[in-house]
Structure 1
Amino acid sequence: MSASPYETPGSLLTSKLPGVLATANRGLPPPLSLNPGIPTKHPTTLTNKSPDTALNSTTLFAALAELVGTFFLTLAALTVAAPTTAYAVGLTLLVLVYAIGGLSGCHINPAVTVGLVASRRFPLVEGLLYVGAQIAGALLARFVAGAGLVGHLAGGYRAGSAGASSSGLAS
């Protein structure tokens, strides 16, 4: 009885494995941009930057995309009526992934960015820039929603009131 080809070191699988690995290590082609004038970030270049080139125009443009994305996601969460908030946030996130995902990775959440930096899958300098932009976007959305600049839904907005009353924690 012959041994399985997966168990023998000289089998077809193991003899072709180095070639397969070499092909896989060549890297991915750069992603296609929906807007030819806007640069996109290649996923494999995120961690291969030298410290002197960490802050370039592409990085700043990506941080701006994070600020805008966080602004719209937070605005959707703050201004949509309670029964449909989850749907509004989900659809907003879906649109943002397609709109800014190729530019910045669409983290939109400082916890995601901190997790990627902590696991060393994202550079520290860019991570700090992203977190600052995300916090600024969320604060800007809170200001816009609190000032009633988005229509009649924000007129009755009071910070913390929707979650407390719907969860039964309001006194």
Structure 2
Amino acid sequence: MASTMQKFLAELIGSFILVFFGTASVVLVLLVNGGLDIAAITMADWVAIGLAFGLALTVAIYALGPISGAHFNPAVTIGLWAGKKFP
């Protein structure tokens, strides 16, 4: 059984993976398109961004889910804590 500190660190790393790689995909799409013009983003770009977020979350869940339960959205963790249903 993982200690509380291991669970917290797993959540921190999982949230970092999700935010870093998901946001990096948005930055990459904007750089490839040559600027901050949101209108220039094509449907393929939106699909690539969505797949990057999904892949990052999948990797984080498989790698860290057994340790922490994979609540990589802080709102889920806070909601469970506030409702006193946190495992």
Q: Please report the TM-score for the alignment, with normalisation by the length of structure 1.
A: 0.37
**How far 1:76 moved relative to its partner?**
1.1
**How far 1:115 moved relative to its partner?**
1.2
| 1:77 alignment partner AA | G
Q: Which runs of 5+ in 2 are unaligned?
A: 30-44
1:107 equivalent to 2:52? Answer no
2-structure distance, mates of 1:95, 1:78: 16
Contact 2:22 2:56 in 1 (8 A): no
1-structure distance, mates of 2:17, 2:61: 12
1:119 equivalent to 2:83? Answer yes
Residues 47-97 of structure 1: CA distance to partner in whole angstroms, max 9, x if unpaired? xxxxxxxxxxx1101111111111111111211134211101101111111
Residues 79-134 of structure 1: CA distance to partner in whole angstroms, max 9, x if unpaired? 113421110110111111111111001111110111111222116xxxxxxxxxxx
1:79 equivalent to 2:24? Answer yes
2-structure distance, mates of 1:95, 1:77: 12
| 1:62 alignment partner AA | K
Moved segments of 4+, more than 2 Å: none
Larger radius of gyration: 1
Larger relative helix fraction: 2
| 1:67 aligned residue (1, 5, 12) | 12
2-structure distance, mates of 1:78, 1:113: 21
Report % sequence identity.
Answer: 43
Q: Which runs of 5+ in 1 are unaligned?
A: 1-38, 41-57, 124-171
